[in-house]
Amino acid sequence: MPVSEGMISALIDLKRTGDEALVAQLTSQLRSLIASGRLGKGRTLPSSRRLASNLGVSRNTVTYAFEQLAAEGYLEASHGRRPVVKVDGGERQAAGAVASGVRSGKPRLSPWASRLKQTDWPMSYLAPLRPLRPGHGDAREFPNEVWARCLRRSAVRAAKRELGPVNRTRLREALAHYVATSRGVRASADQILILPSAQAALTLIAAVVITQGDEVWVEDPGYPGAAAAFRASGARVTGIKLDEQGMQRIPGAAAPTLIFMTPSHQHPTGRLMSLARRTEFLRLSRPGKTWIVEDDYDGEFHYDSRPVPSLQGLDAHGRVFYVGTFSKAMTSDIRLGYLVVPPALVGTLEIAQRHIGLIAASHVQEALAEFIADGHFLAHLRRMRRLYHARRDHLVEGLQRHLGEVLSVEVPSGGIQLVARLRRGGVDQAAVKRLVEAGVETRALSSLSLGRPRDHGLLLGFAAWRESEISAAVRTMASCF
């Protein structure tokens, strides 16, 4: 029933004892009166002075409430005049829904978003880091002062810098040189896109080369972010078993549209793909028909021997995308990665990069170019390699000594994490739950499988933790088994 002007103050009930401020209470109650239709369109409200006096509040309280409702589109308010209700029936509902965040029914999602929501990739990486979460380097060891100087110089120079390319030339050149000398990648600077992360590179590749229903092969167990990106694009993703040499070919199966692999240190097992296997996959991939994505996410860290050159460097026909990231080599919050694109796709990938907006801040790109050119990047890597090597050995030794009967450790030749298998079988998810409750964060190997898990074990990070922290975590683990 419509409300007369005189009744408005009688319908407003302000609590002076609660936490909610008077303005917020008044705004919300007037909004409800309008949204419910009791104050209809064209209705003139009392003046702020009159309503304030009726309600026993200050005039400012009423004025602020009127201003807020005017900003939300409920009232017409102009200086010196009494406010007038501006919305009716349908509009009122729409305004009410927007203002109160109420949505009618479930939002209709695109197939891409629906598929992405179905992936079971946990978002735990958003939670604070706890020992021995895999996938991280030690941010505490990063030379923040040096990096800050590079950032500062780059920001100061920005005033003089011309608006330049999305992928900064200096950084492209520095990276082309770095990947050629350290990983045997063969690419010109203009094949390199600078992106906010390796995950961004996977999303971009999927957007450009995957058509709904295409077949994609990934390692099983493998990196869930890759399977998620390709599945969201509509691909049929098949997990491929591993053996000692890495991913195995499916005998007789036709080549898929895309094969995703981590040949330098298989994620999660840390195994190295043999040269014979690399050549076999390259032979299987017909140029322009089957793409290979080589994710070299932690290829900077090798401890026992010289690193094996990249698969991309073996390819003479432009079939391989090479993905790198600074998340592990520097810090995960630096948000920089890169993608070496096969020559035939550079222009298309650049267009997609712009349209999806996967562009890294120019001044950060310039700062990184300087960080690399001045030798800080390689110096940091050398130091981290020594440190992480010692931490790997420390964790291996601790696990063997205290948990040798329960866990069988696979010692990776590089990388930042390792796999320890449950010797007596059993469900790794239950073990992970116990460990997490005790303060040690690991991942179940089975959670990295696409189908029915073949492997049960724990994925343990060692790079991000000091030896004393590793020792404490191993003691905790020993008390859980």
- Using CB under 6 A as the criterion, which residues of the chain lie in contact with ligand PLP when the complex forms? 135, 197-199, 223, 225, 262, 267, 295, 297, 325, 327, 332, 337
CB of 309 to ligand PLP, least distance (A): 19
Residue 109 identity: L
> Residue 167 gets which letter from DSSP?
S
Shortest gap between Cβ of 268 and ligand PLP (angstroms)? 8
| DSSP bridge partners of 421 | 408, 457
Rounded Cα–Cα distance for residues 298 and 313 (Å): 17
Q: What's phi and psi for 102, nearest 5 deg? A: -75, 135
198 vs 340, which CB is nearer to ligand PLP?
198
Residue 134 or 256: the one with the smaller Cβ distance to ligand PLP is: 134
Give yes or no for a contact between 408 and 157, defined as CB atoms under 8 angstroms apart. no
Asked whether the bond before 309 is cis by omega within 30 degrees of 0, the reply is no
Residue closer to ligand PLP, measured from CB, 398 or 415? 415
Q: How far is the CB of 136 from ligand PLP (least distance, A)?
A: 8
CA atoms lying within 13 Å on the CB side of residue 433: 4
Query: Would you say 46 or 268 has its CB closer to ligand PLP?
Result: 268
Q: What distance in Å separates the CA atoms of residue 342 and residue 185, rounded to the nearest whole number?
A: 11
What's the closest the beta carbon of residue 367 comes to ligand PLP, in angstroms?
17
For residue 87, what are its two tokens?
């919305």
CB of 466 to ligand PLP, least distance (A): 21
Q: How far is it, in rounded angstroms, from Cα 45 to Cα 460? A: 65
CB of 418 to ligand PLP, least distance (A): 13
Nearest to 264 by CA among 238, 221, 297, 225: 297
3-state secondary structure of 150: helix
**Closer residue to ligand PLP, CB minimum distance, 74 or 326:** 326
Cα separation values, 431 from 177, 401, 444, 457, Å: 44, 19, 8, 9
Query: CB-wise, 23 or 458, nearer to ligand PLP?
Result: 458
How far apart are CB 410 and ligand PLP at their closest, in Å?
Answer: 17
Of 323 and 431, the one with the shorter C-beta distance to ligand PLP is 323
